[in-house]
Structure 1
């Protein structure tokens, strides 16, 4: 298939799918969720402004790092609909997610570093749990893997 002309103002749903790398069904879903928009031709065919490619790219990247669609939609509501978003628009959006992404990175690093030796205490099933969670004191903080959910106690690797 031929790529859409670089100077084409609007893309068909097929062109949008090919150019963005997103399935047509995903584009329809994003549209139903209010993340992107199109206009309909007299023949009821969708036409997307070329600027929607940037929105789809942002959606894909945000989803890839685990940002829920509801948060993506909320962020998209703050972006301009009538023009192509500027660098400043994208920087503002990035700053909005920075703290959450930093926290997610911290948790992923903790999971990577501690998961082999300790599942976060809450089970007392691994040999080192008696060292990191003596007398199940983390049970006082609530159910589940407390070490991996909050900074309650050191992991087995720290003991």
Structure 2
């Protein structure tokens, strides 16, 4: 018996472990697409299973939905995501993940120098005020409204 080329929304939800409401959400955001059959039921091509797997893995890695959508736009809607496609997508996201790891490591390693200081212009505050950048404007405490307070380019 041949496998059906199309799946109902319930079948896709069961196969992927994603709630039906999540599938509808993904569709509303343009991440996946379905079509309506003659009975006006939502149907998905079987290839959607891999695409949803890519979405879930990317989300677990912290990739934003808009970035996932842009990446998936390079794969035609009814085409199966291939290992080569996945290699290309994951390579693109790898640097973002490395940057985030660096930022979190910096935060972890410098958090104890910032807790409770109450003054963002202290010269020793490596997290929020590396090299006393806020002290260049004026003495005393400052409220910081600029770039992120930590990260690899902030020292």
- Verify same fold: TM over 0.5: yes
Q: Which runs of 5+ in 1 are unaligned?
A: 154-159
Looking at structure 1, the residues matched to 30 and 2 of structure 2 have their Cα atoms a distance apart, in angstroms, of 26
Helix, strand or coil at the partner of 2:154: coil
Q: CA RMSD in A?
A: 3.0
Looking at structure 2, the residues matched to 6 and 22 of structure 1 have their Cα atoms a distance apart, in angstroms, of 25
Aligned length: 143
Looking at structure 2, the residues matched to 25 and 71 of structure 1 have their Cα atoms a distance apart, in angstroms, of 21
Alignment check: 8 A CA contact 1:38 1:48 kept: yes
Looking at structure 2, the residues matched to 62 and 110 of structure 1 have their Cα atoms a distance apart, in angstroms, of 23
Q: What per-residue deviation string (whole Å, max 9, x for no partner) do you get for residues 70-101 of structure 1?
A: 11111110013232121111111112212111
Question: Which of 86, 89, 103 is the matching residue for 1:90?
Answer: 86
Against the structure 1 CA distance between its residues 17 and 119, is the aligned structure 2 distance closer, same or farther, given a 3 Å change threshold?
farther
* 1:79 and 2:81 are equivalent in the alignment: no
Looking at structure 1, the residues matched to 26 and 148 of structure 2 have their Cα atoms a distance apart, in angstroms, of 36
Deviation at 1:151, TM superposition (A): 3.9
Helix, strand or coil at the partner of 2:32: coil
User: TM-score, with normalisation over the residues of structure 2?
Assistant: 0.76
